[in-house]
A and B are shown apart, each in its own frame.
Chain A
Amino acid sequence: MNELDVARHSHLIDPSLHVWTWEIPVYLFLGGMAAGLMILTAALWMRNERRSPAARWLAFAAPLLVSVGMAALFLDLGFKLHVWRFYLAFRWTSPMSWGAWILVLVYPVSLVMALAGLDDAQADRAIALCARVGLGGLARAARAFGLAHASALRWASIGAGAALGIYTGVLLSTLGARALWSSALLGPLFLVSGISTGAALLLLFRVTEEERHLFSVWDRFAIGIELLIMLLFLVGLSTNGAAGRAAAGLFLGGPYTAPFWTLVVISGVAVPFLLETLEVRLKLRMALAAPLLVLAGGFALRWIMVAAGQA
């Protein structure tokens, strides 16, 4: 008892709590952004058949970002050669199993949707590019399939995007022993944050003025909900017994107060919201400042959540 409680002589006695490093927040950020892109590009297509070339190409950003995120996840694996074992079984009680299969679902849906969403000239270029690696026929067939089932495909893209976005939060929130993560609100929080970072990424490119306006509206809508969920998240934690209060205390006066409030709430949420609102109200030209702040804030949110949850 004395050994355990007082002297802590053996380094094996205190558990090592900080086991997730940079890979996880990077994956959560990129995965969330890809989820947002899948939802937004599908929603844009639903609203409008005539889209700018940039908006059409940007649908490919989702599988690209997911791939980079999965590479980060792969680096985090303890036994890298065992990665195939994820795909031998589906354990419905394990969030990691859900995630592995959702990621598999995301690829075909997002790629087929991106191919089908291109206009004819763009599609010819994309198919020619695929033909160089011998995949021309597959790309053409995928595009034809996507165009034939466009409506179902868009809904599938929204569904897969929502599943991916929520999953990035659920991955944390199923670890109930970590008081900070033990909240069902993390799923929706990461989903809306993913939608807002996805919209911010789209705003960085040369899209039409009408699309820009639309993305800005969606971005502000997502940011508004994000702010509300963050508030509820903190309220939920603070009214949740001693462990929850201690976890909320990390953000309310504890060591993560300054990073959380300055990088996430002020710079990543409140200021871009105000800037985008002002740009619309005062009819100013859209600057890059607001989307860049949203992207930095979204990344900071994941980074701080992962770090504070292990503190």
Chain B
Amino acid sequence: MIFPIFPSHELGLVFAVVSGFGFGFVLERAGFGRAQKLVGQFYGYDMSVFKVMFTAVVTAMLVIVVASGVGLTDFRLIADHATSATFVVPFLVGGMLVGMGFVMSGYCPGTSYVAMASGKVDGLVTVLGTIVGQVIWAEVEGRPGFARFHNSTALGSFYLWELLHLPDRAGPAIVAVAVVLMAVGCFIGAEKLERLFASKADPLATAIPGGRPRRFVVAGLVSAALAGVAMLALPTGSRAGTLEVAAISPADLARRVFDAPWSLRVLDLRPLAECAAKRVPGSECIPVDDLPKLRLAEANAAREIVFVGAEDLALPPAAAGYPGKLAILKGGWKAWEAYALTQPAPPAPGAALAEVEDYRFRAGIQSALTGMKAAPPAPPPAASSGGGTKKAGGGGCSG
């Protein structure tokens, strides 16, 4: 899913382009396509880029935390899938490099595109430099020595509340509140800096109306309070009592796997070797002993979980706390194999439409999954070939 409001991938892309143009336009109009304004951060005379970007970060963070607090989205899902895992040393080195490039060129990657679009040659050079850098990176990324460096100090998806050992449920809210407070502090500090260095200000820059820091304090505290209240007061994922387990047939599972794969999460509980050899498309191989590691009790309830065993299986205890729907594949892997991976018998001539439709679906799945096309059905038996009572010519022109 590109954008959580639009379920359709296509519409998400359209929205992304519209918001991209809007973002670029606003950046350009705000003067962020000018290198002088951007390097102002480093000389301290104009902190507006810092304030704008930090405001954007805080706003996005609050929206995601509050929305996942009220159950509209799931920040853990977004964070785990959309953001990079944490690599401490490479991040520090990379951050320093980006900062150096930022000061030298006067642009960050996004604003260099803005500058290029408004016809600035240095913006174009920065964009080309970024592209060249990416190509070089792609070339050296896989070299043994380099790969060892950039995979070093890997912490996986690691969050601040884990670093600070905060409780799982309230941790994100507490961190969000802390970041908002930090932002407010930074804004006040940035404005102090601007006043201090005002004499060096870029004479071409448009004057910014001198905002009073009190506004930031009020806005920050209100948002922080909102996030805190939303996260702590609203019930999240505590519907453990209403556990329903449905049995799903291979045919229904196949339809959902092919038609709406985003609506379900298939967990294959067979031993790893078996699952690694053959499994339902899109399923995750989780040997039953590893199931507790998924912490299903805290997982997002949006997707229905379907368990696949070797044969019929009972609900594993580790799944008990899952707040969403649960299902078990009827007959397990054996039934799936029989349904989806073996060639179905073709319908008899004159079969009902539903039967032909069902055959088509199965044959389609089977050929999609195995790469084999169905053999043509046997020809219908020739009707009464031995009979000598051949009809005379049909009349008309046949003579």
Contact = CB atoms under 8 A, between A and B. Distances in A.
* Interface hub of B17, B359, B374 (most chain A Cβ within 10 A): B17
A289 B14 contact: no
Given A2-B349, A261-B14, A288-B119, A7 B21 contact: no
Interface string B331-361: 0000000000000001101000000100110
A7 B117 contact: no
Interface in A153-188: none
A279 to B, nearest CB: 11
B17 A2 contact: no
Contacts of A254: 10
A2 B376 contact: yes
Nearest to B8: A253
Nearest to A258: B13
A7 B13 contact: no
A3 B378 CA distance: 10
A208 interface: no
A261 B375 CA distance: 42
B377 A267 contact: no
A287 B9 CA distance: 33
Interface string A193-232: 0000000000000000000000000000000000000000
Nearest to B348: A2
A128 interface: no
A21 interface: no
Given A9-B373, A271-B21, A287-B117, A2 B346 contact: yes
Contacts of B14: 257-258, 261-262, 266
Interface residues of B, number: 25
Given A2-B376, A289-B117, A7 B10 contact: no
B383 interface: no
Interface size class of A (residues with CB under 8 A): 20 to 34
A6 interface: yes
Given A2-B346, A267-B21, A287-B117, A257 B377 contact: no
Contacts of B370: none
Contacts of B21: 266-267, 271
A130 B349 CA distance: 75
B356 A6 contact: yes
A6 B117 contact: no
A273 B339 CA distance: 55
Interface in B78-93: none
Contacts of B57: none
Nearest to B116: A289
B375 A253 contact: no
A159 to B, nearest CB: 37
A290 to B, nearest CB: 10
Contact of A6 (B9, B18, B359): B359
A7 B374 contact: yes
Given A2-B376, A7-B346, A258 B119 contact: no
B359 A258 contact: no
Interface in A278-311: 285, 287-289
Interface in B358-390: 359-360, 363, 373-377
* Interface hub of B10, B11, B374 (most chain A Cβ within 10 A): B10
B59 interface: no
Given A7-B346, A258-B10, 10 more contacts: A2-B377, A6-B363, A7-B375, A8-B373, A257-B8, A261-B14, A262-B14, A262-B17, A266-B18, A267-B17
Q: Which 7 A-B pairs have the closest CB atoms?
A: A258-B13, A257-B10, A262-B17, A9-B376, A258-B10, A287-B119, A7-B376
25 contacts: A1-B349, A2-B349, A2-B377, A3-B377, A6-B346, A6-B347, A6-B356, A6-B360, A6-B363, A7-B373, A7-B375, A7-B376, A7-B377, A9-B374, A9-B376, A253-B8, A254-B10, A257-B8, A257-B10, A258-B10, A261-B14, A262-B17, A266-B17, A287-B119, A289-B117
